[in-house]
Chains A and B, each alone.
Chain A
Amino acid sequence: MSVFTDKFSATLPPPTRKSERWKYSPIAKLLNNEVSISSEAAQGINGWPESVLPNPVLSLDAYLVVFKNGVFEPTLSDLPVSDGVDCIPFSKMDPSASLDFSNGYHQKEWIGELNETYRQDGLCLHIHRNVKVDRPIVIHHLTDGLNVASFPKHLIKVDEGAELNVVLWSSASERSSGMYNGLLEASIGPNALLSLEKVCNEGGKVFHFSHEHIVQERDSKLKMHTFTIKGDWVRNELEIISRGKGTDSVFNGAYLPLGTEHIDNHTTMDHTSSDGTSSELYRGIMYGNSTGVFNGKVFVRPDAQKTNAFQQNTNIVADRGAAINTKPELEIYADDVKCAHGCTVGQFDLDALFYLKSRGIDEKAAKALLVEAFLGDVLSSVSSTELSEEIMSLYTERHGW
Chain B
Amino acid sequence: MLKINNLCAKVGDNEILKGLNLEVKPGELHAIMGPNGSGKSTLAAVLAGRDSYEVTGGTVDLDGVNLLDLEASDRAREGVFLAFQYPIEIPGVSNLNFMKAALNGKRTHKGQEPIKAKDFLAKVKECSSLVELDGRLRDRSVNEGFSGGEKKRNEIFQMAMLEPKLAILDETDSGLDIDALRVVSKGVNAMRSSERSFIVITHYQRLLEHIVPDFVHVLSNGKIVKSGGKELALELEEKGYDWLKEPSHDTSNV
A residues with CB within 8 A of B: 349-352, 354-363, 365-366, 369-370, 372-374, 376-377
Contact = CB atoms under 8 A, between A and B. Distances in A.
Contacts of A354: 50-51, 72, 88
26 contacts: A349-B90, A350-B52, A352-B88, A354-B51, A354-B88, A355-B84, A355-B87, A357-B71, A358-B50, A358-B84, A359-B73, A359-B76, A360-B77, A360-B105, A360-B162, A361-B98, A361-B101, A363-B71, A363-B73, A365-B101, A369-B97, A370-B90, A373-B90, A373-B91, A373-B92, A373-B141
A374 B105 CA distance: 22
B105 A365 contact: yes
Contacts of B218: none
Contacts, number: 85
A259 B193 CA distance: 51
Given A356-B98, A359-B98, A365-B101, A373 B93 contact: yes
Interface residues of B, number: 34
B212 interface: no
Given A354-B50, A358-B82, A365-B101, A374 B92 contact: yes
B90 A358 contact: no
B128 interface: no
A354 B49 CA distance: 9
Contact of B72 (A358, A376, A377): A358
B87 A358 contact: no
B97 A361 contact: no
B106 interface: yes
Nearest to A354: B50
Contacts of A352: 88, 90
Contacts of B84: 355, 358
Contacts of B101: 356, 361, 365, 369
Contacts of B137: none
A280 B82 CA distance: 39
A256 B254 CA distance: 55
Nearest to B80: A358
Contacts of A373: 90-93, 141
Contacts of A355: 84, 87-88, 90, 142
Contact of A358 (B48, B99, B141): B48
B105 A370 contact: no
Interface in B223-251: none
Contacts of B82: 358
A298 B178 CA distance: 52
B10 to A, nearest CB: 18
Nearest to A365: B101
A322 B97 CA distance: 30
A361 B73 contact: yes
Given A359-B162, A361-B98, 7 more contacts: A351-B88, A356-B102, A360-B77, A365-B101, A365-B105, A370-B90, A374-B92
B109 interface: yes
A369 B93 contact: yes
Interface string B53-77: 0000000000000000001111111
A349 B93 CA distance: 13
B158 interface: yes
A379 to B, nearest CB: 10
Contact of B90 (A356, A360, A363, A377): A356
